[in-house]
Structure 1
Amino acid sequence: RETAGYISSDLHQLCLSSLPVSAHLWYLIFVAFHTEMNLLSFTVVLGLLVGTWAQPIVRRPLCDSPEAEEAALVAQDYLNGQHHHGYKYVLNQIDDIKVYTKPDGDEYDMEVDLLETDCHVLDPTPLANCTVRPKVQTAVEGDCDVVLKNVSGVLKVIAFKCKSEVSTEDLCLGCPTLLPLNHTDALDFVQASLTSFNNMTVDTTHVLLEVGRLSSQIVSGGPIFITEYVVVEGNCTEDPCVPLNDAMATRGICTAKGTIAQHSVDCKMFSTLKTLRTHGHSHHKLTALHNPHQNVLLSAESAESDEVVPVVPAAAAPAADPAPAADPALAADPALSKQ
């Protein structure tokens, strides 16, 4: 009902529900001057409204929308750029996305799942051509919270937190079992297979740079090792050989399978200036943290206490030193490396 100087509560609620937040203030001012609302009531409502008005607008795009996929791919490429050991990761799915509208540019709060591929971070193969590692090979999966900022129309990652874990799904009896990177017998096998590879090369000796994966499998003839590792051209003027301090030194990714006495080894050689950083002894994880305290939007779900790696923002990263780590003890036993 309506009478002179009075607007019914039903009509009042209808008017408010039909207006955007930015228009509520002006509607309340109109009501104040055309009803018997007293000054105290008006002041209280005005304070509440201004507080609501100051809150950022939150949008929830669909996870399969072009906007969400664009942001997720930017996050994927950035995370791979911060990943200096192990293997490249590819986007699996977008779990959640919120977009906060702010005066200095929209901010994207995302939760994404990533899957490990069979391409090492030193491998120049484009990510689109890399194959996702099957779960029966004990793949590593990543779960990341990422915050991006739209700066002049360009999305940039400003903070992230990641956790990674070994997939235990679809494991089968007789499938390869992932071993820690400091497994003594498996490392002996790596050295034996590397010796075999060096015996097949002419005028070049390669040394171990990083162990990528160590696995074992039970077959009809007994247990065998399945390994992946990175080698670099060595300087053998002294014994033992050390990595060659040369930007043009050949590098390669080797796969070897079998036993110390009988095995096969194949190495794919390439050139790269990217250096590797030492890592732990379980499996190669995604870089865990970057500016996690800079933004309150990051959830606690991806907190990982056992791996904290300092990260240099991509834009400010110094030129890569072409010389790989020259400490042969670290290469021979990754357990000696410190995070």
Structure 2
Amino acid sequence: MRELVILAALVSALHVASLPTDTDVVYKCQEDQDNIAILAAERFINDHHHHGYKFKFVSLDSRRADEKTDLCEVILGITLEETECHIVNPKPLDQCTTRKESETKVTAKCNVTVLSFEGKAVVACYICDTKPDSHEILVTKCPDCPSLLPLNDPKALESVKTALQKFNKESNHKSYFKLLEVGRISTQWMFSGQDFFVQFAITETNCPKRVAYRKQKACKALCGVKARYGFCKSSKVGNEEPEVECEIYKAQNITHPMKHPLPYRGFVKIPPSIYPICPFLPPCLCQGPSDHVSPPPPPPPPTQ
């Protein structure tokens, strides 16, 4: 396995913070323009996944460029880290902090192909391998820290259900909110038993807050400019009732990303305990350093 070429000058926070946003700059896949390609990759990946948390660029690990053709391309091996901002959080990415090691840090290793199209840096393909720190690393560095659980853990999901019911009962909002998705589940064994710590996103519905229990499943989420989302953190200690805190965001005019000028494809390996970088598209056999991200296996042959 080849050693990765670490470009230390590009990993400093100062450099990342100074990535240019000048739309008049003509991108030509040159090495001194890697910051433009990195910014395009970071934005594109965050704009095109619809689950979990926002990811922030950490380091450029490798690059390979073809500057000979009119449609030049550069293949970047980059590292991203999960932030504490869920995708429903309107906070700008530069204000989101990456997750601490004690919270089981999640890292994404990506190969991204960036083209120069009409003078702009355009993402054509990406493949990411997203995974959390191993449990052994967490135990070594923080033996008392909670560990991640799969997002479908039945006991934890029961605590989410109870926490959401409590929020709807006690909140001062007029609408009923329903579960959008579970973002993270962690657990810890204490003298009181098994504790659960859950983060989940919620969405406002067309039902009033006092809607009857038997009618809650029929409540529909509001869409477009009317949509209000929230992000909740709940904790359940032993057999006690869950505690829950939710932050509700103002209605946002959430639209799909602008139409991409070129066809693109993306692929990510999905661990069971975290949401991946999306979208869920067919495998993308990106070119790039084979020691950075392994391409997905070929599909099975069709049955006769």
TM-score (normalizing by structure 1): 0.64
State the alpha-carbon separation in 2 of the partners of residues 124 and 116 from structure 1: 16
Q: Which residue of 2 aligns with 1:224?
A: 195
Pick the aligned partner of 1:292 from 262, 281, 284.
284
- CA RMSD, 1 decimal: 2.9
User: Structure 2: any 5+ residue segments left out of the alignment?
Assistant: 11-31, 257-269, 300-304
Q: Given the superposition, is the C-alpha separation of residues 140 and 121 from structure 1 closer, same or farther in structure 2, using an over 3 Å criterion?
A: same
Which residues in structure 2 correspond to 1:68-107 (within 5 Å)?
A: 68-107=34-73
Q: Which residue of 1 aligns with 2:263?
A: none
Q: Which residue of 1 aligns with 2:28?
A: none
Report the residue type matching 2:201 in the other structure: V
1:182 aligned to 2:170? no
1:61–1:98: 8 Å Cα contact kept in structure 2?
no
State the alpha-carbon separation in 2 of the partners of residues 89 and 274 from structure 1: 19
2:60–2:77: 8 Å Cα contact kept in structure 1?
yes
Task: Determine what percentage of the aligned residue pairs are the same residue.
Answer: 28
2:64–2:74: 8 Å Cα contact kept in structure 1?
yes
1:62–1:68: 8 Å Cα contact kept in structure 2?
no
1:145–1:302: 8 Å Cα contact kept in structure 2?
yes
1:191-244 deviation digits (Å, cap 9, x = unpaired): 111111111124322111111111112345443111100111234466233333
State the alpha-carbon separation in 2 of the partners of residues 155 and 231 from structure 1: 35
State the alpha-carbon separation in 2 of the partners of residues 173 and 227 from structure 1: 19
1:191 aligned to 2:161? yes
State the alpha-carbon separation in 1 of the partners of residues 61 and 271 from structure 2: 29
1:244 aligned to 2:221? yes
User: Structure 1: any 5+ residue segments left out of the alignment?
Assistant: 1-59, 309-339
What's the offset of the Cα at 1:190?
Answer: 0.6
Higher helix share: 1
- Higher RCO (CA 8 Å, separation ≥ 6 residues): 2
Q: Which secondary structure does the structure 2 equivalent of 1:71 belong to?
A: helix
State the alpha-carbon separation in 1 of the partners of residues 289 and 119 from structure 2: 22
Q: Which secondary structure does the structure 1 equivalent of 2:143 belong to?
A: coil
Pick the aligned partner of 1:283 from 274, 284, 293.
274
State the alpha-carbon separation in 1 of the partners of residues 131 and 71 from structure 2: 34
Q: Which residue of 2 aligns with 1:17?
A: none
2:148–2:273: 8 Å Cα contact kept in structure 1?
no
Pick the aligned partner of 1:257 from 219, 235, 238.
235
What's the offset of the Cα at 1:245?
Answer: 3.7
128-137 or 165-174, which moves further after superposition?
A: 165-174
1:159–1:290: 8 Å Cα contact kept in structure 2?
no
2:129–2:293: 8 Å Cα contact kept in structure 1?
yes
Q: Given the superposition, is the C-alpha separation of residues 289 and 97 from structure 1 closer, same or farther in structure 2, using an over 3 Å criterion?
A: farther
Q: Given the superposition, is the C-alpha separation of residues 263 and 143 from structure 1 closer, same or farther in structure 2, using an over 3 Å criterion?
A: same
Q: Given the superposition, is the C-alpha separation of residues 82 and 134 from structure 1 closer, same or farther in structure 2, using an over 3 Å criterion?
A: same
State the alpha-carbon separation in 1 of the partners of residues 6 and 98 from structure 2: 27
Pick the aligned partner of 1:132 from 72, 77, 98.
98
Report the residue type matching 2:248 in the other structure: M
User: Aligned residues, how many?
Assistant: 244
Higher-Rg member (1/2) = 1
